[in-house]
Amino acid sequence: MNLTFSPEEQAFCEQVRRFLADALPSDISQRVRLGRHLRADDYLRWQNILSEQGWLASNWPKEFGGPGWGPVQRHIFDEECAAAHAPTVVPFGVNMVAPVIMKFGSVEQQQHYLPRILSNQDWWCQGYSEPGAGSDLAGLNTRAVRDGDHYIVNGQKTWTTLGQHANMLFCLVRTDPDAKKQAGISFLLIDMQSPGITVRPIITLDGAHEVNEVFLDNVRVPVENRVGEEGQGWTCAKFLLTHERTGIAGLGHAKQALRHLKSLASRIQHRGKPLLELPSFRQRVVKAELELMALEVTNLRVIAAARDGGVPGAESSLLKVRGSELRQELSELTRRALGPAALPFFPDFLHGEGSLDDERAQSAAASAQYFNRRKLSIYGGANEIQKSIVAKTILNM
């Protein structure tokens, strides 16, 4: 066994690093570094640069216009992007609906939608959760009734991330209310400009507008916008969730957060000495360091298994649980490190154009991010759901 990258992989790492140094606009990386909310234009500028480089769809095979990278290259790319404070690519098109369209979509759907994702023409959002269907996703109630060549869709979706910028929605709907829970679900692609769609912001406890409610009121969706057969939506949904969870450990972000924490805690003074020398604080940093080391190797084990032909399975649930717990701990330690400086709240600075003096700007986002990171153990299947998945699929309980 060995844990080192091959010379080719190291060269690739250098290539990505050089590209990021040259191509990532500094105003965007600065916003990411300070934890300010990104505007639609920030995402698009960066994704257009990636698209031009051919690296936007890092998980796509060559036949669909992706770079054809393997799991190791994708891992290196993600880590380097996080280290350089590049924005996370909005995943709903490239990483979520695209694999579903590739696997279950018709040739026409593939030819129409995939190039539009690659060129950032479409901004996709996700219509999964409903007010009455969270962890119990298959309990969803949004109805789609067939009317000639269309479905008439009625219902409400929620937690729709960045839906305020989106022009396309992939949506789980109930097409057969009499079939068993999972069997009556279909997967529809819906134009957000359709009459009857209303998007309302949900402001989260950190003051951010990240998620939305989406109301569907007699929305007409052409039948050709269905992916897969009627009633096969759950198969698509599960396939997509596995993809959603693979990157969800967010190890690149955890590494970056730990680097930031250590540098912060060695600058901040506590009784005339760096905070990092306070034993109780240092102990928690050391434990976070250990957890990160373990997660990194676990992640490499999963990547190596994928490279050697395995499919992402329940191991991604393990990574999700431990990865989200670690990132939450790091956000907790970062907030604590700042002490009283974690108290002032500048929402205008965080999502607006305003400016703050350097010192305030450095600490402005820490507490808001701490609250924002609570989402990590809730989204993509709450950690308790992940544990039930492991119990069922790995331990056969």
Partner 1 sequence: MDFALTDEQRMLEETLTRLVADQVSPEQRRAMLAAAPNRASALWRTFAELGLLHMSFSEDVGGLGGDGTDLMIIMQALGRGLVPEPYLAGLVLPGQLLAVTANSEQQTRWLAPLLEGEHQLALAWQEIGARYDAFTVSTQATQQGDQWQLNGKKHVVLNLEAAAGTLVSARLANGKLGLFIVPADAPGTSTHLYRTIDDQPAGDLTLDSVKLPLTNCLSEDVSDKLAEVLAVGRAALCAQAIGAMEEACDQTLAYLKERKQFGVPLSTFQALQHRMVDMHLHLEQSRSMAILAATSLALPASERDYKIAAAKAYCGESARFIAEQAIQLHGAMGMTEECYVANYAKHLVMFDHYLGDSDYHLETVSELLKVA
Interaction pattern, residues 7-36, with partner 1; x per rule: CB under 8 A: --x---------------------------
Q: Give the range of 87-95, 167-175, 211-219, 315-323 binding partner 1 by CB under 8 A.
A: 315-323
Site track 363-392 with partner 1 (rule: CB under 8 A), x = hit: ---------------------x--xx-xx-
> Closer CB to partner 1, residue 324 or residue 367?
324
Q: Give the residue, chosen from 102, 183, 199, 300, that forms a contact with partner 1 under the rule CB under 8 A.
A: 300
> For partner 1, which is the closer residue by CB, 84 or 208?
84
8-state DSSP, 133? B
Structure token digits, residue 333: 């330690």
Instruction: At 193, list the tokens.
Output: 């400009």
Which one, 4 or 26, has the nearer CB to partner 1? 4
H or E element in which residue 218 lies = strand 209-222
**Phi–psi pair at 84, nearest 5 degrees:** -90, 5
Nearer to partner 1, 205 or 297 (CB): 297
Residue 226, token pair as written in the block:
């269905």
Q: Does the footprint of partner 1 cover residue 42 (CB under 8 A)?
A: no
The conformation of residue 130, written as its DSSP 8-state character, comes to B
- Nearest-approach distance from CB 293 to partner 1, in angstroms: 6
The residue from 135, 218, 266, 269 that contacts partner 1 (CB under 8 A) is 266
Q: Residue 263, interface with partner 1 (CB under 8 A)? A: yes
Least Cα distance to 316 among 253, 239, 259, 235 occurs for 239
Please tell me the distance from the alpha carbon of residue 255 to that of residue 142, in angstroms, as a whole number: 40
Residue 277: CB minimum distance to partner 1, A:
10
For position 397 contacting partner 1 by CB under 8 A, the verdict is yes
Do 157 and 32 touch, CB atoms closer than 8 A? no
Min CB(378)–partner 1 separation in Å? 16
Any idea what the Cα angle at residue 134 is, between residues 130 and 135, rounded to 5°? 155
Tokens for 128, please give them. 């999964």
Told to judge if 359 belongs to the known catalytic residues of this protein, a careful annotator would answer: no
Asked if 78 interacts with partner 1 (CB under 8 A), we say no
Which two structure tokens, joined as six digits, stand for 377? Answer: 């153990």
Q: In sequence order, what are the beta bridge partners of 171?
A: 127, 188
304 binds partner 1 (CB under 8 A): yes
What does the block give as tokens for 325?
Answer: 């717990």
Closest to 368 in 3D by CA, of 164, 160, 158, 204: 204
Catalytic pick from 244, 291, 315, 329?
244
Cα distance between residue 343 and residue 356, in whole Å:
15
Helical packing angle, 71-83 and 251-267, nearest 10°: 30
Q: Which of 190, 236, 276, 364 binds partner 1 (CB under 8 A)?
A: 276
Least Cβ distance, residue 72 to partner 1 (angstroms):
7
Q: With contact defined as beta carbons under 8 Å apart, do 184 and 175 qualify?
A: yes
Give residues 317-336 in contact with partner 1 (rule: CB under 8 A): 318, 321-322
Q: Which two tokens stand for residue 322?
A: 């431990």
Q: Of these, 11, 40, 179, 293, which contacts partner 1 (CB under 8 A)?
A: 293
Q: Give yes or no for a contact between 36 and 351, defined as CB atoms under 8 angstroms apart.
A: yes
Phi, psi angle pair for 27, to nearest 5°: -65, -30
Nearer to partner 1, 111 or 266 (CB): 266
> Which one-letter DSSP state was computed for residue 379?
T
- Is residue 262 part of the contact set for partner 1 (CB under 8 A)? yes
| Active site residue ranges | 244
- Residues making contact with partner 1 (CB under 8 A): 1-6, 9, 72, 262-263, 266, 276, 282-283, 285-287, 289-291, 293-298, 300-301, 303-305, 308, 315, 318, 321-322, 384, 387-388, 390-391, 394-395, 397
